[in-house]
Amino acid sequence: MKKKFLSFLLVVFAAFGLFAGCGDNVNSSGGSSGSTPPIKEVDYAGEVTLNTADVTLTQEVTVKAYIDGDTTHFNVPTSIDPNGLLKARYMAVNTPESTGTVEPWGKAAASFTKSKLQSASKIVIETDADKWEPDSTGDRYLVWVWYLPQGETQYRNLNVELLQNGLAVGSKITNTRYAKACTNALAQAKALSLKVFSTGKDPDFYYGNAYEITLKELRLNIEEYNNKRVAFEATVTIHNVWEVYLEDYDEETGLYYGISLFYGYDHKFDSILAAGNRVRIVANVTYYETGGYHQLSSLSYDIMNPTDPENTQQLSTGNRAGYVATDIDTFYSSRTLTLDVYDEDTEETTTVEKTFSYAQLVYGTTISMQSLEVISAYTTNNGGANDGAMSLTCKINGKTITVRTEVLKNASGELLTQDMFVGKTIDVKGIVDYYNGDYQIRVFYPNAITIVE
């Protein structure tokens, strides 16, 4: 029996050695510890070529707005879109999120796309067939994006390049025009364990526990918390579809501090984030480049452990928004605050004075303003969901401020139009918002505007 058992062990060890030896020859990152040569990298994005004379539709464009890694808004001729704007969703790729929800490598993908297009001498978008094809949302068009690097004569395919660099996974590649290049680029990125296919961590993504702070601390030092996870208490003031506004009062400065939070299409947060609720928020701080402001996203919640400190929680109900009565002179004034600044390198705290515009300090908070004369108005009309939203240009005491509304309807469901307000004096209640380089008041509800004369 002993001899048979020993023979069995020798067979097992020999087999184990054989398999172990085979495994030693292959390295997922392209290296080799045996006779297998490293993977030879191929530039698939440069191998495919743009043929403007083909059956597809092509158009040279310029960038209107950088959204994320796989979505860009381009300026186009009105023959393609009456408003001269095409919202492009990149064909065959899906990059990690970087706008509302933020995922590992999302910022890297967005930065990669922006850098390539910003430095290009020309940009061309191409359809996959013989027409401009909308995606599943109906609001964006699926396109191949080509860019011509400065000083070069051959265009590069950005869709393929995102896959090639491990900054995207494939999305409905089969039967697309450049399916072979996409498939090969994706396989190579996986074999080399690049970015989203690696076991390493994204240096631009915060993996640690949340910083316990106040909303005041966050607002006054927003850049320092960018891409980090934070936890604080605040009151929900406005609930707008998948976005809410939060604010918290600070006794020391006598100000409310606020911020917007995008929680996405997850209904489990609807009741927690109802207006009037006092909540504990655990989320990521992100910069929303299209809007030009910081916001919160990627809420944390474990339904099996709702009281976990790392969870977003509802603390109380029935709380009220501040709606601080603000005159136009205060709105455009400045405020100097004394701040304690902590240096992580020296582990020392110093006291400094810093001046902010008042509107910057109270961004995202609720205010009210009276006796605004509406001198002109603009109503959105581009065939989208925001048709009917208004921008009311108002004056008081020789100063101008914009009141921007959502689509407003009365109790009978009738649309409130600009003709109702132009030439009138109004009182408003809304959120201090930032749009197109200026602070303004954003109004969400029809009863938040009162015509006084």
* Helix, strand or coil, per DSSP, at residue 19: helix
Predicted confidence (pLDDT) at residue 11 exceeds the cutoff of 80: no
**CB-neighbour burial class of residue 279 (10 A; exposed 0-12, middle 13-18, buried 19+):** buried
Would 30 be classed as within a structural domain?
no
Give me the residue label for tokens 């505007």.
449
Instruction: Pick the last residue of a domain from 168, 197, 226.
Output: 197
Residue 133 lies in a domain: yes
Q: Domain containing 73: what range?
A: 44-197
φ/ψ of residue 266, rounded to 5: -120, 105
Q: Is residue 239 part of a domain?
A: yes
- Assess whether 154 and 62 both reside in one domain: yes
Question: What does the alpha-carbon distance between residue 277 and residue 387 come to, in Å, rounded to a whole number?
Answer: 31
Do 311 and 239 fall within a single domain? yes
Residues contacting 450, CB < 8 A, separation 6+: 426, 427, 428
Is 258 in the same domain as 381?
no
Does the pLDDT value for residue 419 go beyond 50? yes
- pLDDT at 359 (0 to 100): 96
Q: Is residue 204 part of a domain?
A: no
Q: Do residue 123 and residue 192 come from a single domain?
A: yes
| Residue 418 scores a pLDDT above 90 | yes
Q: Is there a single domain that holds both residue 309 and residue 224?
A: yes
- Read off the pLDDT of each residue in 91-106 and give the average, rounded to a whole number: 86
- Whether 96 maps to a domain, the answer reads yes
Task: Identify whether residues 364 and 303 lie together within a single domain.
Answer: no
In a domain, 228, yes or no: yes
Do residues 193 and 215 share a domain?
Answer: no
Q: What is the largest CA-CA distance in the chain?
A: 106
Determine contact, residues 234/245, Cβ cutoff 8 Å: no
- More confident call, 82 vs 207: 82
- 375 and 429 assigned to the same domain: yes
Beta-carbon contacts of residue 153 (< 8 Å; ≥ 6 apart):
none
Q: How sure is the predictor about 206, in pLDDT bands with cuts at 50, 70 and 90?
A: confident
- The tally of domains found in the chain comes to 3
Cα 134 to Cα 120: distance, rounded to the nearest angstrom? 25
CATH of the domain at 274: 2.40.50.140
The pLDDT confidence band at residue 302, using thresholds 50, 70 and 90, is confident
Same domain (yes/no): 78, 116: yes
* Domain assignment present for 330: no
Single-letter code of the amino acid located at 419: D
Residues 310 and 391 placed together within one structural domain of the fold? no
pLDDT mean over 230-241: 93
pLDDT value, residue 332: 96
Percent of the chain with pLDDT over 90: 67
Indicate the pLDDT class of residue 38, thresholds 50, 70 and 90: confident
Burial of 237 per CB tally in 10 Å (0-12, 13-18, 19+): buried
Residue 361 sits at the vertex; the CA angle it makes with 287 and 379, to the nearest 5 degrees, is: 70
Q: Residue 412 pLDDT > 60, yes or no?
A: yes
Q: Is it the case that residue 241 has pLDDT exceeding 80?
A: yes
Q: How high is the pLDDT of residue 13? A: 36
Q: Please check whether residues 58 and 179 belong to one and the same domain.
A: yes
Determine, yes or no, domain membership for 368. Answer: yes
Does the pLDDT of residue 36 top 80, yes or no? no
Place of tokens 């265009």: 155
Segment 166-204, tens digit of pLDDT = 999 999 999 999 999 999 999 999 999 999 999 999 988
Q: What is the DSSP string of 199-234?
A: SSPPTTS--SPPEE--HHHHHHTGGGGTTSEEEEEE
> Across residues 35-46, what is the average pLDDT?
83
What is the pTM assigned to this prediction? 0.67
CATH code at position 155: 2.40.50.90
140 and 229 in a single domain? The answer is: no
